[in-house]
Amino acid sequence: MIKLIKLEWIKNNTRKYMIKAALVTAIICAFVLALAFLGIADDPDGTLDAALGAEGISLTVEMFSNMTYLLLTSSMFGSFIINSYKNRTMELMFIYPIRRQRVLASQILAVWLFCFSALILTKLLIYAAVVGVAKAGVWRSSFVIDIHLGSLSFWMILVIRSFVTVSLGLICLFVGMIRKSSKTALIAAFLLFLITQGNVGDFSMAGNKAFMLALTVISFVLAGVVIGRAETGELN
Amino acid sequence: MDNILQTSHLAKTIKGRDLVTDVNIHVRKGEIYGFLGPNGAGKTTVMRMLTNLWRPTGGVIELFGEKMEPGSYQMLGRMGSIIEFPAFYENLTGRKNLWLHCEYMGYYHHGSIEEALEMLQLAEAADQPVKNYSLGMKQRLGIARAILCRPELLILDEPTNGLDPAGLKQNRELFRTLSREYEMTIFLSSHLLSEVEDIADTIGIIHQGKTLREISMKDITKMNTAYIELSVDNVRQASRILSDQLSLDRFKVTDGSEIRIYTENIETSEISRALAQSGVGLHAISRKTETLEDYYLSVTEGAERL
With beta carbons under 8 A apart, name residues in chain B contacting A95.
Answer: 51-53, 76, 79, 81, 83
pLDDT exceeds cutoff 60 at B306: no
With beta carbons under 8 A apart, name residues in chain B contacting A98.
Answer: 73, 104
- Spatial separation of the C-alpha atoms in residues A57 and A47, rounded to whole Å: 15
**Mutation choice for A interface testing from B44, B45, B53 by most A CBs within 10 A:** B53
Tell me which of A76-90, B86-100, B178-192 is least confident: B178-192
pLDDT at residue B303, rounded to an integer:
66
Q: Which of residues 62-81 of B touch A (CB under 8 A)?
A: 70-71, 73-77, 79, 81
The size of the A-B interface in CB pairs under 8 A is: 54
For residue A203, count CB atoms less than 10 angstroms from its CB and return exposed for 0-12, middle for 13-18, buried for 19 or more. Answer: exposed
Mean per-residue pLDDT, A103-130 = 93
Which residue, B37, B63, B49, is CA-closest to B13? B49
| Record: contact A97-B77, CB cut-off 8 A | yes
Average pLDDT, chain A: 85
DSSP state, residue B110: T
Provide the H-helix boundaries in B149-283: 165-180, 193-199, 217-223, 235-240, 268-277
pLDDT exceeds cutoff 70 at B269: yes
| Record: contact A7-B100, CB cut-off 8 A | yes
DSSP state, residue B32: E
| Record: contact B51-A11, CB cut-off 8 A | no
Other Cβ atoms less than 10 A from the Cβ of A6: the count is 14
Distances (CA, A) of B235 to B240, B242, B258, B287: 9, 10, 7, 18
Say which amino acid occupies B168.
Answer: L
Interface residues of chain A, partner chain B, Cβ below 8 Å:
3, 7, 10-11, 13, 87-89, 91-99, 231, 234-235
Assign A43 a pLDDT band (cuts: 50, 70, 90). Answer: low
Assign A50 a pLDDT band (cuts: 50, 70, 90). Answer: low
pLDDT tens track for B23-33: 999 999 889 99
For residue B72, count CB atoms less than 10 angstroms from its CB and return exposed for 0-12, middle for 13-18, buried for 19 or more. Answer: middle
| Record: contact B104-A93, CB cut-off 8 A | yes
With beta carbons under 8 A apart, name residues in chain A contacting B91.
Answer: 13
Mean per-residue pLDDT, B157-168 = 79
Of A13, A98, A99, the CB nearest to B104: A98
Distances (CA, A) of A94 to A32, A143, B72, B131, B171: 45, 52, 12, 22, 26
pLDDT exceeds cutoff 80 at B216: yes
pLDDT at residue A49, rounded to an integer:
63
pLDDT exceeds cutoff 70 at A54: no
Mean per-residue pLDDT, A139-154 = 79
| Record: contact A7-B75, CB cut-off 8 A | no
pLDDT at residue A41, rounded to an integer:
66
- Is B17 near chain A, with CB under 8 Å? no
Please, which residues have CB within 8 angstroms of residue A44's CB and are 6 or more apart in sequence?
A: none
Parallel, antiparallel, or unpaired for β B185-189 and B153-157? Answer: parallel
For Cα atoms B53, B59, B62, give the angle at the middle one, nearest 5 degrees: 70
Q: H or E element: which one contains B137? A: helix B135-148
Specify the 3-state DSSP secondary structure of A164: helix
With beta carbons under 8 A apart, name residues in chain A contacting B70.
Answer: 231
- Spatial separation of the C-alpha atoms in residues B250 and B272, rounded to whole Å: 17
Q: H or E element: which one contains B155? A: strand B153-157
Specify the 3-state DSSP secondary structure of B8: strand
| Record: contact B92-A11, CB cut-off 8 A | yes
- Spatial separation of the C-alpha atoms in residues A120 and B83, rounded to whole Å: 42
Which residue, B303, B80, B72, is CA-closest to B207? B303
Total length of chain A: 236
With beta carbons under 8 A apart, name residues in chain A contacting B71.
Answer: 99
Assign B243 a pLDDT band (cuts: 50, 70, 90). Answer: confident
Among A1-15, A52-66, B282-296, the range with the most confident prediction by mean pLDDT is: A1-15
| Record: contact A87-B87, CB cut-off 8 A | yes
| Record: contact B104-A235, CB cut-off 8 A | no
Q: Give the rounded percent of residues in chain B with a pLDDT score beyond 70.
A: 96
pLDDT exceeds cutoff 80 at B229: yes
Q: Give the rounded percent of residues in chain A with a pLDDT score beyond 90.
A: 35
Q: What is the CA radius of gyration of chain B?
A: 24
Other Cβ atoms less than 10 A from the Cβ of B17: the count is 7
pLDDT exceeds cutoff 80 at A42: no
For residue B227, which phi and psi values (nearest 5 degrees)? -145, 165
Q: H or E element: which one contains B144? A: helix B135-148
pLDDT at residue B100, rounded to an integer:
94
| Record: contact A95-B51, CB cut-off 8 A | yes
pLDDT tens track for B35-89: 988 888 888 899 999 988 888 998 999 988 889 888 888 888 899 998 888 899 9
Distances (CA, A) of B99 to A91, B93, B112, B117, B142: 18, 10, 10, 11, 13
pLDDT tens track for B112-122: 999 899 988 88
- Spatial separation of the C-alpha atoms in residues B124 and A68, rounded to whole Å: 42
pLDDT at residue A80, rounded to an integer:
92
Say which amino acid occupies B274.
Answer: A
ipTM above 0.95, yes or no: no
Other Cβ atoms less than 10 A from the Cβ of A195: the count is 14
Assign A236 a pLDDT band (cuts: 50, 70, 90). Answer: low
Tell me which of A14-18, A27-31, B113-117, B164-168 is least confident: B164-168
| Record: contact B105-A97, CB cut-off 8 A | yes
For Cα atoms B233, B236, B239, give the angle at the middle one, nearest 5 degrees: 100
- Spatial separation of the C-alpha atoms in residues B17 and A236, rounded to whole Å: 14
With beta carbons under 8 A apart, name residues in chain A contacting B87.
Answer: 87-89, 91-92
| Record: contact A231-B106, CB cut-off 8 A | no
- Spatial separation of the C-alpha atoms in residues A236 and A74, rounded to whole Å: 24
